[in-house]
A = this chain, B = another copy of it.
Amino acid sequence: MKPYAEMTKEELKKEVKELRAAYHHQQTLDQHYDMSRGKPSQAQLDLSMGMMDVLHSGVDLFCEDGTDCRNYGVLSGIREAKVLLGDMMENNPDNIIIYGNSSLNVMYDTVARAFTHGIMGNTPWCKLSRVKFLCPVPGYDRHFAITEYFGIEMIPIPMSPGGPDMDMVEKFVSEDEAVKGIWCVPKYANPTGYSYSDETVRRFARLKPAAHDFRIFWDNAYGVHHLYDDKQDYLIEILAACKRAGNPDMVYKFASTSKITFPGSGIAALATSPNNMEDILDQLKHQTISHDKVNQLRHVRFFGDIHGLVEHMKKHADIIRPKFEAVTETLQEELGELGIGTWTSPIGGYFLSFDSIPGCAKAIVDRALKAGLVMTPAGATWPYGKDPLDSNIRIAPTYPPLEDLRKAMKLFSLCVKLVSAEKLLAGME
């Protein structure tokens, strides 16, 4: 089939008619597919059921240093968990705070603390008339929701396969003292799957911020989430890079085991400089006595060490990889020649990113919904939920079983074709 843009009006009319019939048939099938969020599938969750067995009444719940994990105390987390997540995050365990069950919560609290008390002695953001964050787009809706909730002005920064537009980042960060942060998902980014290039990371590390309290919010959510054994992205470690560049305090780095063990029942961590750690712990001591050390111990006993965790991630990859491939194969089969969409082909992470022709994303997601396929709302990948081109759609392939996913992606492709053909035809009227 030839590209839609090269079709005559008559050809397009015929195409729309056929697509509508196919779509209405799909609507009669009473299908229900959920591709709205980056949720692991049940098969992935089953991989971690062994974690429920490592702690029982026949074993002790003590750390190597004698700490009883069942009682109060150890604000920054148990040593064993710092070592495990330090190995995972490629950071010194001394630079790590282990938190509760959610890195999103850590990010929220980090913004909230800056808002109420300021960062390392700087003016609390609530006392400033304007605070701005840079937001690489497309990006993660829950990041944008936090900054929007705090009334922080968000500035979109275009993403390319090597990372955000660093010319823009450098300009904003060095010239505007109101720019206090940037949201980054540096590896297998949400939703593009892009990983920041070496040059991008180096340029981040060498930023010269106008604001003393500018921080990079480095959400390395997918650091160990490779799809392939032989094709993996590698990221220059940002804390070390910043330290080398003379900017040791410029980064908060976040990670968790949410998509390693159980989402909502994992452990989260923050890695940062000693100065930032001191600043953070001075607040954290007012907020809590300690996080869930039993769950920290459970994770450590389950994985043993980083090698155990890496082997575990290979099992996840074996489940997820065919799903990513099913998505790209289906899109290629269905849309490859039509010139009505582009998509990314990540080798890790949880998402792919799809771009329709301008003005179609909302309509595509809406059509999909009405035939039983729930996608992430169009616009969600942009600050304030507003995609100026109305073209970006996040694809989250992990949750549905593989056979469902193939059907869902065929349905999605049908919606793309129908909406695009209608749009092009309308342009001819």
Contacts and interface: CB of A to CB of B under 8 A. Distances in A.
Interface string A96-113: 000011101100110010
Given A45-B71, A116-B126, A292 B149 contact: no
A79 to B, nearest CB: 16
Contacts of A124: 126
A160 B258 CA distance: 48
Contact of A55 (B37, B52, B72): B52
Nearest to A282: B149
Contact of A68 (B42, B50, B287, B291): B42
Interface string A51-88: 01101110001000000111111000000000000000
Contact of A53 (B42, B57, B105): B57
Contacts of A116: 112, 115-116, 126, 150
Contacts of A53: 56-57
A39 interface: yes
A348 interface: no
B72 A263 contact: yes
A40 to B, nearest CB: 7
Contacts of A70: 45, 48, 262-265
Interface in A127-153: 127, 142, 145-146, 149-150
Interface residues of A, number: 55
Instruction: Please give the count of copies of this chain that the complex contains.
Output: 2
Contact of A37 (B39, B72, B104): B72
Interface string A216-252: 0000000000000000000000000000000000000
Question: Which of A57, A73, A116 has most B Cβ within 10 Å?
Answer: A116
A37 B71 CA distance: 11
B69 A265 contact: yes
A2 interface: no
A100 to B, nearest CB: 5
A263 B289 contact: yes
B291 A264 contact: yes
26 contacts: A39-B71, A48-B70, A52-B55, A52-B56, A53-B57, A56-B56, A70-B262, A70-B265, A102-B290, A102-B291, A104-B287, A105-B287, A108-B286, A112-B112, A112-B116, A124-B126, A126-B126, A126-B127, A146-B286, A264-B290, A264-B293, A264-B294, A265-B294, A265-B295, A292-B292, A292-B295
Interface of A: 37, 39-40, 42, 45, 48-50, 52-53, 55-57, 61, 68-73, 100-102, 104-105, 108-109, 112, 115-117, 124, 126-127, 142, 145-146, 149-150, 258, 262-265, 283, 286-295
Q: Which 10 pairs show the lowest CB-CB distances between chains A and B? A: A265-B294, A49-B57, A70-B262, A108-B287, A126-B126, A45-B70, A264-B290, A72-B263, A105-B288, A149-B286
